[in-house]
Structure 1
Amino acid sequence: MTQTLGIALMGTGRMAHVYGPKINAHPGLRLEVIYNPRMSSAQKAAALYGGRPMDDLDAVLADPGVDAVVIATPTDTHVDYIEQAAAAGKPIYCEKPLDQSLERVDRAMQALQTHPVPFMLGFNRRFDPDNAMLQQAVRSGEVGPLNMLMSWSREPSPPPIDYVRASGGYFVDATIHDIDLLCWIAGERPVQVYAAGSCKFDPQIGAEGDFDLTMTTMTMPSGALVHINNSRACSYGFDQRLEAFGEKGMVQTRNHRDDTLVRWDGTATEARKPLKHFFLERYDQSFYNALDEFHAAVTEGREPSSTAEDGRAALAIALACAQSARDGVAVQPIYGG
């Protein structure tokens, strides 16, 4: 019989609206509380997804019905909530990134060492079925020793400029997903990165000193080369592809569409519908699968597969990429606490 965990969902913004329905859909999770320091926001979210609205964090963490917390709040609040939830002995699922600062990430990791509760970081793309199949193919030796690993990750349109200003920069905000995913697939972390960026779509992004178009190359200890290209704009939808090339062959993931039918007519041949529009549609299943992994880790007493250390490493690499793009030189990421 599935053990049910009562969940306190922290936050009521965009990612909380992703996790609310996924918690409700999981047979082993129960949405017990929705927390926001503004009660009116908590009440609105609770009206949509259920759970009891609460605005007192101490009361949430002391609530006997709360077995674990899902942190889906703004990034700059993650560390504070991790420290308090860990001190209360609550297992934690936290949206990525842990923070935009390595110093604050180290604070969170110290709290998790002092209060060792189950902790999982929400790098959801690991839990996409296509990505997981490609990782399994690489790790099982299907392509032989890995030579090249490539990722295409292009968004349909630039985000609002207020989001960009608070994002920590394109590498920390977006490329970090690809960094974590490709390191997980390869089973190693880079010894050197070289990145370049430009701004071709939204001049406001450039005025903030950020990029909307980047390319990154990572050199792995094995000698494998990893390439990531990112774009804040893409006219044909949310372009998400992977390719692993080894001595024995190659495996790829393809883009997703709502309609996979191929059409031929008097105006076009092999015509197909546009791609999924954004990450909320393309990676919908991955969020459920990630929560399923969290439930299994807590109820079975095992280490979650996406850890705080993974989050620290991905941030260190992303910061090295930002430095490389800014200075025009190759950079060695600095790991460790």
Structure 2
Amino acid sequence: MTQVLGVALLGTGRMAHVYGPKINAHTGLKLEVIYNPRRSSADKVAALYGGRPTDDLDSVLSDPCVEAVIIATPTDTHVDYIEKVARAGKAIYCEKPLDQTLERVDRAMAALKINPVPFMLGFNRRFDPDNSALRNAVKNGEIGRINMLMSWSREPVPPPIEYVRVSGGYFIDSTIHDIDLLCWIAGERPVEVSAFGSCMFDPQIGAEGDLDMTMTMLKMPSGALVHINNSRACAYGFDQRLEAFGRKGMVQTLNHRDDNLVRWDNSRTVAREPLKHFFLERYDQSFYYALDEFHAAIISGRDPSSSAADGRAALAIAHACATSALEGRTISPEY
């Protein structure tokens, strides 16, 4: 029989509507509490997914039915909540990134060292079935040693300018997902990074000093080269592909579509439906599998994968990429 963990969900924004259904679908998790400092927001989400709505964080952290907390609040609040939840002795699953600055990440890691509760950072793309299968193929030696690893990650449309202003910059906001995923697949972290960026889709983003297109190169200690291709706009949908190339061959992941038929007739030779619209559709399954890993780690008493240290390393690399693009030189990340 599956051991059930009582869960509190902090936050009622977009990610609450991702995690709420996934918690309810998991036989080992029970949504006990929905928290938001604005009680009316907690009421609305609780009406959809269950759980007790509250604006009282102390009552959440003292509730014996709450054994684990999912932090799905704005990024600049993550560290404060981590400190409070860790002191309360509850297991923590935190949306990524842990924070935008290494100083605050270090503060969170210090709190977790003092209060060593189970902690998992939600780098959900590791748990996408296609991405996991590619990594397993690499680990099983299907392509031999990795020589090159490549990622294409292009979003359908630029985000609102209000979001750009608080995002921390394109490398920290978006490229960090690819950085974590590719370092996880390669099993190593870069010794050098070189990045370039432009703004060619949305002039407002450029006016804010940010980018909407980037290309990033990572050089690994083994000599393997990693390429990351990012764009904030893509006419044909959410373009998400990986490729690992080695002496013995290559493995790839392909884009997802609602209709995967290839059509041939007197007016066309190949026509397929557009790509999945955005990350909520493309990576829907990955959020469930990430929570499944969180549950399994707690029940078995092991450390969850996707740790705070992984988050810190990805952030350090993202900062190095931003510096490289700004200064036009190769940077060695400071871990």
- In the superposition, the TM-score normalised over structure 2's length comes to 0.99
Instruction: State the AA in 2 paired with 1:306.
Output: S
Rounded to whole Å, the distance in 1 between the matches of 2:265 and 2:84 is 61
**CA offsets 1:222-259 (integer angstroms, 9 cap, x no match):** 00000000000000000000000001110000000001
Rounded to whole Å, the distance in 1 between the matches of 2:7 and 2:91 is 10
Please state how far the C-alpha of 1:17 moved relative to its aligned partner: 1.1
Aligned partner of 1:9 in structure 2 is 9
Instruction: State the AA in 2 paired with 1:200.
Output: M
Aligned partner of 2:47 in structure 1 is 47
- Trace 1:1-337 onto structure 2 (pairs within 5 A): 1-335=1-335
Please state how far the C-alpha of 1:266 moved relative to its aligned partner: 3.2
Instruction: State the AA in 2 paired with 1:332.
Output: S
Rounded to whole Å, the distance in 2 between the matches of 1:47 and 1:266 is 52
Please state how far the C-alpha of 1:7 moved relative to its aligned partner: 0.6
RMSD after superposition = 0.6
Task: Please give the secondary structure, in 1, of the residue aligned with 2:32.
Answer: strand
Rounded to whole Å, the distance in 1 between the matches of 2:265 and 2:257 is 20
**CA offsets 1:96-116 (integer angstroms, 9 cap, x no match):** 000000000000000000000
**CA offsets 1:269-293 (integer angstroms, 9 cap, x no match):** 2211111010000000000000000
Rounded to whole Å, the distance in 1 between the matches of 2:54 and 2:30 is 16
Rounded to whole Å, the distance in 2 between the matches of 1:308 and 1:73 is 17
Please state how far the C-alpha of 1:65 moved relative to its aligned partner: 1.2
Where structure 1 has 5 or more consecutive residues not aligned to the other structure, the ranges are none
Task: Please give the secondary structure, in 2, of the residue aligned with 1:98.
Answer: coil
Percent identity at matched positions?
Answer: 79
Please state how far the C-alpha of 1:263 moved relative to its aligned partner: 1.4
Please state how far the C-alpha of 1:304 moved relative to its aligned partner: 0.7
Instruction: State the AA in 2 paired with 1:34.
Output: I
Rounded to whole Å, the distance in 2 between the matches of 1:235 and 1:221 is 36
Rounded to whole Å, the distance in 2 between the matches of 1:60 and 1:5 is 14
Please state how far the C-alpha of 1:268 moved relative to its aligned partner: 1.7
Please state how far the C-alpha of 1:141 moved relative to its aligned partner: 1.2
**CA offsets 1:27-46 (integer angstroms, 9 cap, x no match):** 00011000000000000111
Instruction: State the AA in 2 paired with 1:182.
Output: L
Task: Please give the secondary structure, in 2, of the residue aligned with 1:32.
Answer: strand
Instruction: State the AA in 2 paired with 1:151.
Output: S
Rounded to whole Å, the distance in 1 between the matches of 2:236 and 2:329 is 33
Rounded to whole Å, the distance in 2 between the matches of 1:265 and 1:157 is 32
Task: Please give the secondary structure, in 1, of the residue aligned with 2:214.
Answer: strand
Rounded to whole Å, the distance in 2 between the matches of 1:147 and 1:10 is 42
Please state how far the C-alpha of 1:117 moved relative to its aligned partner: 0.3
Rounded to whole Å, the distance in 2 between the matches of 1:177 and 1:15 is 16
Rounded to whole Å, the distance in 2 between the matches of 1:161 and 1:265 is 43
Instruction: State the AA in 1 paired with 2:311.
Output: G
Q: Which runs of 4+ in 1 moved over 4 A?
A: none
Please state how far the C-alpha of 1:262 moved relative to its aligned partner: 1.3
Task: Please give the secondary structure, in 2, of the residue aligned with 1:14.
Answer: coil
Please state how far the C-alpha of 1:311 moved relative to its aligned partner: 0.2
Please state how far the C-alpha of 1:64 moved relative to its aligned partner: 1.2
Instruction: State the AA in 2 paired with 1:185.
Output: I
- In the superposition, the TM-score normalised over structure 1's length comes to 0.99
Rounded to whole Å, the distance in 2 between the matches of 1:248 and 1:303 is 34
Please state how far the C-alpha of 1:140 moved relative to its aligned partner: 1.5
Task: Please give the secondary structure, in 2, of the residue aligned with 1:64.
Answer: coil
Please state how far the C-alpha of 1:184 moved relative to its aligned partner: 0.1
Rounded to whole Å, the distance in 1 between the matches of 2:331 and 2:17 is 38
Rounded to whole Å, the distance in 2 between the matches of 1:320 and 1:229 is 16
Rounded to whole Å, the distance in 2 between the matches of 1:259 and 1:18 is 23
Rounded to whole Å, the distance in 2 between the matches of 1:281 and 1:321 is 28
Q: Paired residues, what number?
A: 335
Task: Please give the secondary structure, in 2, of the residue aligned with 1:215.
Answer: strand
Instruction: State the AA in 1 paired with 2:279.
Output: F
Please state how far the C-alpha of 1:267 moved relative to its aligned partner: 2.6
Rounded to whole Å, the distance in 2 between the matches of 1:161 and 1:10 is 26
